[in-house]
Structures are given as structure tokens and as C-alpha cells.
Amino acid sequence: MNFGYFIPTFGLYEEPNWNVIKDHFLIVDKSPFNSAWIADHFVWGINNAMLECWTLLTALASLTERVRIGCGMLCQSYRNPALVAKMGATLDLISKGRLEFGLGAGWKKDEYIQYGFDYPHYKVRAEQLREALTIVRSLWTKDKVTYNGKYYKVKDAVCEPKPLQKPYPPLWVGGSGDEVLRITAEFADGWDAPASDPSGVGGGGIWATDSTLFNSLTKLENYCKEFGRDFKRIQKSMNIWICISENESKLMDLFLKWRKALKSIKPYSELIKGEITLESAKRNCIFGTPNDCIEKIKSFKEIGLTQLVLGFADYPSIEGFELFIKRVAPKF
């Protein structure tokens, strides 16, 4: 099981701070964690304050040395795919071959409207995702590319220099709809499942529960057979909150603080349809003592996940992160 660290670039308990984000990336860089991830959104959290992901990743790539870096997931609608290919190739060179390249169909409608992007039906966005991946992969592997898609076009396009990683950086696709799972089977080196819903209700393609996660993995395996892909060679990841402490009183205080934040800031307050109870958190997040966390991670491994990207509920403290490294990570 690989572990990634999800670092909030939005206001969870306070507005985002560049120095805090930078310091956390530097800490992760010296840890056993395999990767560090940020999200591609424009408005999120306290006062809708959020830092732009690719600008951050570029800066952070130049400051770190070991940890792999990724955006989970880049929204295909927000940037022309040929430009994204150039951005990805450049960042892979800056990072000395540490880029994990993730792309999704997009889902956050209010961002589309605020920033002037069209928000077509999901199936259209999925078709756009497939065209975007076709262009990106082609530009990373061919000298010159012409592509006439329904939504995206390039003519005699050149992307030089190529990415450092060969044949190209690992391609991740995020989402759980049938169209996106089919695209994952066709293109991806890794699949990023929707995040686990702390309330356990799930829904909307945004949240996963144990049952929807299992169903998505089954569908992905069937699509891999259709495309002649080895299902086992595709990495399977999920973002999930973790509340960890050896002290029961501290754990309860952390739970109450974290739940209050999710209930009061957008979009969590709108997206989480059910009540976040202590039992739902234990069932749908990684919650409890180190031993509790070990058992929960084992269950995800048994389902078929190969990576968990952890959002520590006590962020920006590193107490939970350090406890995880000391007591949980060595078991995997």
C-alpha cells in the first residue's frame, strides 16, 4: 500500500497560507510517504479562498527532491489539453521525473459558471476527457500531432522537450461514472476513486462508500478486459480523511472540530448529505488509534486499493502525520 499526503490548499480551519503549504511539502519530502497531492479548484473552504494548483506544484517541485507530486485531479475543462501537455512536460523536467499526472472530467458547476466555462452534460465532459487524454499522450510520445476531435483540435502541434519519464508520466484518471471508468481502462496507469463520504450516504459521483467503491472496481476490471489491459497493473487510489490519536479525549476533540468545519464551509456543507456521526466517521474514514487505523487500511487493501491519499483532520498540525509514520505506515 502506497501512501500519499493530501495537503489542503484551501481554508479548512483558516485561510490557505503558502508558507504552511510549503513547509508541509518539505516535511513529506523527508518522510516515507510516496507522494503529495493538491486539488484543482478555484473556490473552496473558508471565504472561498483557494490557491491555484499548477502554479503551486511548479513552485513546490523546485523545492522538493524525492516525493512524487500530483494534482488529484486536474479538470480537463479549465485548460486547453495541448497546453496541459506542455505544462506537464515542463513540470516533469523541473521535478526531475516526479510528476503524477491526473485528469478528470470536471464536476464543480459553480466554478465553471464563476470563471466563464461552459458546463455541458456529464457525458459530454467525459468525451472531452477522452479527447484531452488522446492529445496529451500523443504530444508526449510523437514528434508532431494533428488531431481533429469533436471538442478539441491541434494541427502539426509539437511538444518539446518531452517529459523526463518514459514513455510519459503516470496517467491517472479520476471519477466513477461508467464513461470515465471506460476511459480509465483505455488510457490510465492509475484510477482515482471519489473520496470517501464521512457521512456514509455517498452519491452524486462525488463520494464513495465501500459498496460503490467495490462496484466501481468490478466495472473497471470488466472494461480492462474489453481493452486488453491487465487490471492488476492499474493503480487504484482514494482520497480519505484520517483522524488519528492515541488519546481518546484528543480524538474526540479533533472529531468535533473537524466535523464543525465540514458542516460550516462550502462545498462540504452542501455536498455531504448525511449527518457525520462518530459511527459514520469510523465506518467511512480512517478513524481512531493507530491499531484502529491499521485495521481499516487493511480492509481497503482487501477491496483492491493500492494507494490511499490521506487528508489529516488535524492539519496544519503534523502530530497525526508523525504518529501515522511511526505506528501505522511500517505495517504496510
pLDDT in tens, 118-136: 999 999 999 999 999 999 9
What share of the chain has pLDDT > 70, as a percent? Answer: 98
Query: Could you tell me the CA-to-CA distances from 32 to 192, 324, 326, 329 in Å, in that order?
Result: 21, 10, 10, 8
pLDDT value of residue 109: 95
Which residues pair with residue 154 across a beta bridge? Answer: 147
pLDDT classification of 205: cutoffs 50, 70, 90:
low
pLDDT value of residue 200: 77
pLDDT classification of 244: cutoffs 50, 70, 90:
very high
pLDDT value of residue 270: 87
pLDDT value of residue 230: 97
Q: Domain with 118 in it: what CATH number? A: 3.20.20.30
Q: How many domains does the chain have?
A: 1
What is the SS3 assignment for the chain? CEEEEECCCEECCCCCCHHHHHHHHHHHHCCCCCEEEECCCCCCEHHHCECCHHHHHHHHHHHCCCCEEEECCEECCCCCHHHHHHHHHHHHHHCCCCEEEEEECCCCHHHHHHCCCCCCCHHHHHHHHHHHHHHHHHHHHCCCEEEECCCCEEEEECCCCCCCCCCCCCEEEECCCHHHHHHHHHHCCEEEECEECCCCCCECCCEECHHHHHHHHHHHHHHHHHHCCCHHHCEEEEEEEEEECCCHHHHHHHHHHHHHHHHHCCCHHHHCCCCCCHHHHHHHCEEECHHHHHHHHHHHHHHCCCEEEEEECCCCCCHHHHHHHHHHHHHC
Contacts (Cβ under 8 Å, ≥6 apart) of 270? none
Average pLDDT score over residue span 107-111: 95
pLDDT value of residue 196: 78
Q: Is the pTM of this model over 0.85?
A: yes
C-alpha span between 276 and 259 (Å, rounded):
7
Average pLDDT score over residue span 9-36: 97
pLDDT value of residue 165: 98
pLDDT value of residue 210: 75
Q: Which domain holds residue 208?
A: 2-331
Query: Could you tell me the CA-to-CA distances from 132 to 80, 148, 182 in Å, in that order?
Result: 8, 11, 15
pLDDT above 60 for 295:
yes
pLDDT classification of 199: cutoffs 50, 70, 90:
confident
Q: Which of the pair, 204 or 242, is modelled with greater confidence? A: 242
